[in-house]
Amino acid sequence: MENFPVVDMKNLNTEERGATMEKIKDACENWGFFEVVNHGISIELMDRVERLTKEHYKRCMEERFKEMVASKGLECAESEINDLDWESTFFLRHLPVSNISDIPDLAQDHRKVMKDFAVELEKLAELVLELVCENLGLEKGYLKKVFYGSKGPNFGTKVSNYPPCPKPELIKGLRAHTDAGGIILLFQDHKVSGLQLLKDGHWIDVPPMRHSIVINLGDQLEVITNGKYKSVMHRVITQTDGNRMSIASFYNPGNDAVIAPAEALVKEDESSKVYPKFVFDDYMKLYAGLKFQAKEPRFEAMKAVDSSNVNFGPIATV
């Protein structure tokens, strides 16, 4: 089996740039996932994020999770559970408007460190989008412009913990799905594994690496690239030992952003456009009820949406 792609971002500023860009291109085309190191986010900041996130779970969420497990009788499950996930989560919104100050129970230093972390992740997301544009031959800034809509992108973070599970063969940490949005940046536990992606019909572990960021592509990039890059099914499996931390940040189009295959990637024949044109918020409304199902029917459903009342005017500039 091929090795999971790991990209050393510092090589982008050396004579290794060409090979590094090729590695990113191959990962986008053949994996939908890659892991980046030397990405510019300080180790000290990442260590603070990890420490405070784990402390918050212990202090504020662990007992609630145990109560939920007991109330649903999950520890006594005798058949596969297909309607819920073995995870404890909360959500932060960064853009267009932050809600971090409104989240209950967060310590002040935790709020600050998550704000600082979000700023760094936003920069990394936009850098990766630029690298993707370069590899695809799209004009500089194209993806950022598409994502912008009229009010800027949506950017938020799902903070998850996956506690030890007594029945890992029956309960998934997170059921298999593709991500609806644009580009996802994951800071995952380096000691406890669990994230897997589906490649060539096999589930492959995404290796935990200290201070790395895992990048994966969402459904919107599949549409914009007209299928050249694809979002990939992934899941989290539970473990009997260890509590896995997962901080996944989603850099997504704005609600009113118009998503469609990039003209530069479509041949002159309109029939080569295999994906629909739609408003991002309409896709998210559909996705909400179909997250754990195949993505292809979602794309087909968006083709059928009557767009006659939608203003598909020029994309706002940043």
Q: What pLDDT score does 273 carry?
A: 75
Confidence tier at 271 by pLDDT (50, 70, 90)? low
**E strands in the chain:** 6-8, 33-37, 88-95, 154-162, 172-177, 183-188, 195-199, 202-205, 213-217, 234-237, 244-252, 258-259, 278-279
Instruction: Measure the CA–CA gap between 245 and 154, rounded to whole angstroms.
Output: 23
205 within 8 A of 234, measured Cβ to Cβ: no
Mean pLDDT score of the chain, rounded to an integer? 92
What's the average model confidence in pLDDT over 198-205?
96
What's the average model confidence in pLDDT over 31-57?
97
Confidence tier at 274 by pLDDT (50, 70, 90)? confident
Each residue of 275-312: pLDDT tens digit? 999 999 999 999 999 999 999 999 999 988 744 444 44
Residue 138 Cα to chain centre, angstroms: 22
pTM for the full predicted model:
0.92
Question: Which of 1.10.3720.10, 3.10.105.10, 2.60.120.330, 2.60.130.10 is the CATH number of 4-271?
Answer: 2.60.120.330
Q: What pLDDT score does 304 carry?
A: 84
Each residue of 106-126: pLDDT tens digit? 999 999 999 999 999 999 999
Instruction: Measure the CA–CA gap between 225 and 273, rounded to whole angstroms.
Output: 10
| Domain locations along the chain | 4-271
